[in-house]
A and B are shown apart, each in its own frame.
Chain A
Amino acid sequence: MAMTQERYVGREVLRKEDPEFLTGRARYVDDMALPGMAWMAVVRSPFAHARIKGVDVSRALGMPGVVAAFSGADLRGEWAGPLPMAWPVTEDIKNPPMYPLATDEARYQGEPVAVVVAESRAQAKDAAEAVEVDYEPLPAVISVEDAVREGAPLVHADLGTNASYTWTLTNGDVEKVFAEAPIVVQGRYYLPRLIPTAMEPRGAIAEANPVTGEITLWSSTQIPHITRVTMAAFVLGMPEQKLRVIAPRVGGGFGSKIRVSHEEALLCVLSRRLGRPVKWIEERSENYLATHHGRDVLQEIELAADEDGRIRGYRVKLLANMGAYLFLVAPGVPLLGAFLYCGPYGGEAYHFECTGVFTNTTPTDAYRGAGRPEATYAIERTIDQLARRVGKDPVEIRRLNFLPPFTEPTKSPGGLEFDAGDYGAALDKALQLVGYDDLRKEQAARRERGDAKQLGIGFSSYIEMCGLAPSRILGQLRYGAGGWDAASVRVLPTGKVEVAIGTTPHGQGHETTFAQIVADDLGVPVDDVDIIFGDTELVPRGMDTYGSRSLSVGGIAVHRACQKVVEKARKIAAHMLEVAEEDLEYERGTFRVKGAPEKAKTIAEMALPAWTAHDLPDGVEPGLDALSIFDPVNFTFPYGTHVAVVEVDTETGETRIVRYVAVDDVGTVINPMVVDGQVAGGVVQGIAEALYEEARYDENGQLLTANLTTYAVPAAPEVPAVTIGRQEIPSSSNELGVKGVGETGTIAAPPAVINAVVDALSHLGVTEVERPATPENVWRAIQRAKAQGPPGTQGGSATGAAPATEGGAA
């Protein structure tokens, strides 16, 4: 079988998984029913902070269809330990234990305090309402600023403080650089709390086998492997090999399903106790209280610069809202941005400091971008201030400060070695695509005319880190696991290929992208390659999907496993062709004898002989399969420039995005269509963060945005078409040259949009706008500027004095 067709990598292969999704045949947890299955409903604290004086389930037990009901005290003996927290970032981190049901105190609205099991979902829900909990409300603290104040109510009284940890990083002589710098600009930014809002809320079914002691847990999760090891050993106290975790089709996650959850633990225990499968599906309003939130960070950044605007130093201080407890990787989320507050720019001194703070709110954790949107927002907003301060255009200031182009690892001020990039080229491409010069002319004309609707152009030249992560570095950062991933490639006797991957797709298109890599490596049609994932029994090794790691770690494991198969096949081919291995050339599935290319064997041709094993060379095991476990040596660093063009109605404060250009270098592109989809989706989510989404609590810790009506996720009419440009400089961190694309848009978009809003209003004296830039927040920024007089009179652009913003209600 001669391979004459072009390579699959780089082609827009239609997604193999889509027919199943598009015809409604994909099976999610909620599509599953097991014989004898019962339903769980969770009773949650209505208070942000309250003492639990008593829980009475007797009335619930008398309700129709109710099977069982338990308080936290009833189940206390079931737990081998608290729910896991995997990233103790400092030695002295305060990590109060968190159990699946609270027993003494509830510390956030939505914290589980009791469970009910009934024959139907509706019966469980009705009975949950009948559980009587005697609460004594306690003072609550909501915002990070309030929480660190002297005398603030304590979330965990026994800790004596609301501060969980402080983590620092210093490179160079920061004090000296700042003392000597002629220019220092400061920014202070509050990034609102966000709610991930995956299309499919969480849900799970546990089925315990009372005879064998095995439990199977089907869960809408991003992390079946991490769940298995942590849940079995630390929470349920059962042998790890007896817990099987299956992530079937999962309808999005955005980080919110990186969770070893209260509900999963409860289902396992309830199934074990009741001897029946037990199911739970989260309601949307429950999702908004009980699934983790993201961001909610107060950042202060200072840049030290020369008079011409060249940056010499960075100084960053964060207060990160952890919520009431530390969820799985929450303390480490700021660390994923900690090294990147220098963006793609140079400099010689760098200091970062972050304090994780407890509040009486839903715990936060990773949300698409995790740490990197925070860093990008801080530097990209502040470099615009620096531009205004030194009288340069935002484009000029960026060009002045970019690290020069490079293809080998290059040290950045934050201390990481970036892999490969040409930052200026990406910016130039973006300028060309957006038509920068004409836009500035149009902007000037509108200002001249005094139009109600003003034009603004905003830039974001971001860099991020993907490919989580080199295990050694994770060890240095005190993460509780490694960052490798695994793949098994099996060439079946019929020549078809089955690949078991350790990453767990939930919308990313692994089944297509990985199949393209395999098809090229083994010279088989892409339709002959099937990808298996998301089941700890079928795929025993894996570290799952988050942090744009699947391709740049898992994809490399797939590629290397293919190489191993090829090496084994080489032995068999040499034997079959009766030549030495060195006499064979290999290209895309075919071994040819050097100098005699008509003598050839394809991988597919060798599949059956390798399986029958009738005539294998000595010492060669039957079968054509291989496992690879890849541990990256370095992160990957996607980057690019995004440009937002907005029209701001100066009378109403309404912002409309009229053009959006994204130029990204995500390394080698395997499937351009999948990449474009990730870019566009990420940008939309970033625009949502900039203009629409904000989780708001009142001063008592009641979530005011607890449904899709009040939590403003934009829909298609609200978001623009995204013009996508691309630059492709292979990463030096792996042999495929891939970097990662899952989060670029979410990381890049918010500062581009907000810089554009500020740019539209800069002639009015506006230098800052609170996020999200809702019509009211923009209107308020305009009113403040008007009250302060024309620009220049306050020197406001130099300090960028942001209004104090709070996490609480406005």
Chain B
Amino acid sequence: MIPAPFEYERAESVEQAIDLLAAHEDAKLLAGGHSLLPLMRLRLARPSMLVDIGRLRDLSYVREEGDVVAIGALTRWHDLATSEVLQRACPIVAHTAAGIGDPQVRHMGTIGGSAAHADPASDIPAVLVALGAELVARGPGGERTIPAAGFFQGLFTSALAPDEVLTEVRVPRTAGRGWSYLKFHRRAQDWAIVGVAALAGDGGPPAVALTNMGDRPIRAAGVEEALAGGASPAEAAERAAEGTNPPSDTFGSAEYRRELAKVLVRRALEAAMAGR
């Protein structure tokens, strides 16, 4: 309930945020606060300083840039869910955003905050991996672009350096492709026990990525390979647990998650192929 003591600075620009991160060891960026603050309230996280970037309005946008939709890192879930651009150009992101947490969470939580937090149980990482998205980070040495597959490096671990700020998420236009994000959870507000992001149909090979089946979002390579070899969704889904290392926790055992992944991959593929 009551966090340990910490310092607080509100950054007025990305550059100032980078400077503050560089100047304070153990500083953390605060965006929507819906991952970090609960951990601090339980005193599981004890940053010495919070650098609040939540009011950097110029990092909140959704815009089409050629074949890509560029999303500002501080765009909130609600704005993604209701973005007319995303609903048209990359509906899986809008759909996934609409199912995160509850309305309060969706009005505070940001796509960049969630990606940077790199919680393998969060929904957006698997979607970004399935999409082959890119993440743009800015640090003292300038800007760089990191492919989603390399961005998520482990449990709560991303490719971001301690003094880097995630500024943008770039997702490809998928208009015309079938897609599905299936999230299996007990309560609407829960994290996924298992989630499956699937893209299928015209415009590229099928892509399938899994939420909460390991320490980071995992590409279901076995499923994709089987599909490429002409397998049906049901046949391909049998390989859903290959290469995964799901956790056992109060929400479900690893054994159950592996079986669940097969069912959900099959359903997600069927939905994606039905062209929803």
Binding site for B on A (CB under 8 A): 121-122, 125-126, 129, 283-286, 651-652, 654, 692, 696, 704-705, 707, 709-710, 712, 714-715, 717-718, 774-776, 779-780, 810
Contact = CB atoms under 8 A, between A and B. Distances in A.
B253 A776 contact: yes
A704 B250 CA distance: 7
Contacts of A286: 1
5 contacts: A283-B1, A715-B189, A718-B187, A775-B193, A775-B256
Contact of A710 (B1, B188, B250, B252): B250
A286 B1 CA distance: 9
A773 to B, nearest CB: 11
B186 A775 contact: yes
Given A652-B263, A696-B250, A705-B250, A122 B2 contact: yes
Interface string B157-194: 00000000000000000000000000010111110010
A285 B1 contact: yes
Contacts of B189: 715
B216 to A, nearest CB: 20
Given A285-B1, A718-B187, A774-B252, 10 more contacts: A122-B2, A126-B4, A126-B5, A652-B184, A654-B184, A717-B187, A775-B260, A776-B252, A776-B253, A779-B260
B259 interface: yes
A114 B99 CA distance: 44
Given A122-B2, A283-B2, A652-B263, A707 B250 contact: no
B45 interface: no
Interface in B1-58: 1-2, 4-5, 38, 42
Contact of A717 (B42, B188, B260): B188
Give the 5 A-B CB pairs with smallest separation, nearest first.
A283-B1, A717-B188, A776-B256, A651-B263, A125-B2
Given A285-B42, A710-B250, A718 B5 contact: no
Chain B's interface: helix, strand, loop or mixed, by majority? loop
A712 B186 contact: yes
Contacts of B263: 651-652
A651 B186 CA distance: 15
Contacts of A121: 2
A125 B252 CA distance: 33
Nearest to B188: A717
B187 A692 contact: yes
Contacts of A714: 187
Contacts of B251: 710
A284 B186 CA distance: 21
Q: Which of B42, B250, B251 neighbours the largest number of chain A CB atoms within 10 Å of its CB?
A: B250
Contacts of A780: 256
B173 to A, nearest CB: 32
A218 B190 CA distance: 36
B175 to A, nearest CB: 30
A779 B2 contact: no
A4 B234 CA distance: 72
B273 to A, nearest CB: 18
Nearest to A124: B2
A129, A285, A709, A714 interface centre (most CB from chain B within 10 Å): A709
B253 A810 contact: yes
B1 A712 contact: no
Given A121-B2, A283-B1, A652 B260 contact: yes
Contacts of B193: 775
A692 B5 CA distance: 35
A718 B250 CA distance: 18
Nearest to B186: A712
A774 B189 CA distance: 16
Contacts of A717: 187-188
Max chain B Cβ within 10 angstroms of own Cβ: one of A122, A717, A775, A810: A775
B103 to A, nearest CB: 11
Contacts of B186: 692, 712, 718, 774-775
B259 A779 contact: yes
Nearest to A772: B186
A45 to B, nearest CB: 17
A718 B252 contact: no
A692 B188 CA distance: 13
A707 B188 contact: no
B270 to A, nearest CB: 12
Contacts of B260: 652, 775, 779
B189 to A, nearest CB: 6
B99 to A, nearest CB: 11
Contacts of B42: 285, 707
A283 to B, nearest CB: 4
A709 B184 CA distance: 16
A654 B264 CA distance: 12
B1 A284 contact: yes
B256 A715 contact: no
B256 A779 contact: yes
A126 B5 CA distance: 8
B187 A712 contact: yes
Nearest to B264: A652
Nearest to B257: A776
Contacts of A707: 42
Contacts of A283: 1-2
A718 B188 contact: yes
B168 to A, nearest CB: 30
Contacts of B190: 709, 712
Contacts of A704: 250
A641 to B, nearest CB: 28
A780 B255 CA distance: 10
A122 B6 CA distance: 12
B240 to A, nearest CB: 13
A707 B38 CA distance: 11
Contacts of A125: 2
A171 B5 CA distance: 63
A779 B260 CA distance: 10
A710 B186 CA distance: 11
A213 B193 CA distance: 57
A770 B107 CA distance: 38
Which of A125, A652, A696 lies at the interface centre, i.e. has the most chain B CB atoms within 10 A of its CB?
A: A652
Nearest to A809: B250
Contacts of A715: 102, 187-189
A125 to B, nearest CB: 5
Contacts of B252: 774-776
A493 B4 CA distance: 57
Contacts of A122: 2, 5
A652 B260 CA distance: 6
A283 B102 CA distance: 22
Nearest to B38: A709
A691 B187 CA distance: 11
A488 to B, nearest CB: 40
Nearest to B260: A652
Contacts of B256: 775-776, 779-780
A774 B187 CA distance: 11
Contacts of A712: 186-187, 190
Contacts of A810: 253
A695 to B, nearest CB: 10
Interface in B246-276: 250-253, 256, 259-260, 263-264
